[in-house]
Amino acid sequence: MLVTLIIACEVGFWVLLAGGLALRYLAKMPKTGAAVLLCEPLLELALLVATAVDLRGGGEPDWKHGLAALYLGYTVAYGHYTVRWLDGHAAYRLAGGPKPAGAGYGAARAVHEWKLVARTVLAAAVAAGLLQAAIWYVGGSGDTTVLRGWQLAALRVVGIHALIAVAYTVWPKRAPAKALSAASSADRS
């Protein structure tokens, strides 16, 4: 049941996001669209409560509880960022707003990647905290080694993401030749 709820929360996130943006930009109802977007944290709250109820009801701590904690950590760290990013693109595509800035190249891209690593650290910290709370919640009555394994998985994700940021720092992404020639011709004018 918990896996089904995790999937429902993820689908619900995207449905609420699409609905909120459609109301905001297609139906020209920005306040209603914002209200729909503000309902998204209720999905995560429902998942948190369901996970706690499952554990308290005698559910054996397993991979589903770890996955729920990682999902909740991700939504805390990246949920608002994702909504804001998609809102900027929807405003550009549907309402004639300014084109959103990309991640950039060179040092700007490396800085962007390190900011994402900071979000990943936050996601891992939230997930590890929730997993630790679950370990304490279960107490000595259950085997919590699976939950501890998920805490280590969260740390591995941080490490992998940090390696990606290091790669962008050491080997910066270069602007395409087309963009460089356009920039140099603009400088000559």
Q: Which amino acid is at 78?
A: Y
* Four-residue CA torsion sign, 37, 41, 42, 44: positive
Is 47 within the bounds of a domain? yes
Residues of the chain with pLDDT under 50: none
pLDDT tens string 37-52: 989 899 999 999 888 8
Q: Would you say residue 105 lies in a domain? A: yes
Residue of 84, 77, 79 whose CA lies nearest to 130? 77
And the tokens for 127? 């997930």
Residues 104 and 130: their CA atoms lie apart, in Å, by 35
Asked if the structure places residue 34 within a domain, the reply is yes
- The reply to whether 16 falls in a domain is yes
- DSSP type of residue 100: P
Domain count of the fold of the chain: 1
Is residue 71 one of the residues assigned to a domain?
Answer: yes
Residue 187 lies in a domain: no
Give the pTM.
0.85
Residue type, 137: Y
What pLDDT does 183 receive? Answer: 58
* pLDDT at residue number 28: 93
Domain membership of residue 162 as a residue range: 2-176
Question: Is residue 186 situated within a structural domain?
Answer: no
Residue with tokens 């936050």, as numbered in its chain: 122
pLDDT in tens, 102-116: 889 999 999 999 999
pLDDT reported for residue 188: 61
pLDDT of residue 179: 58
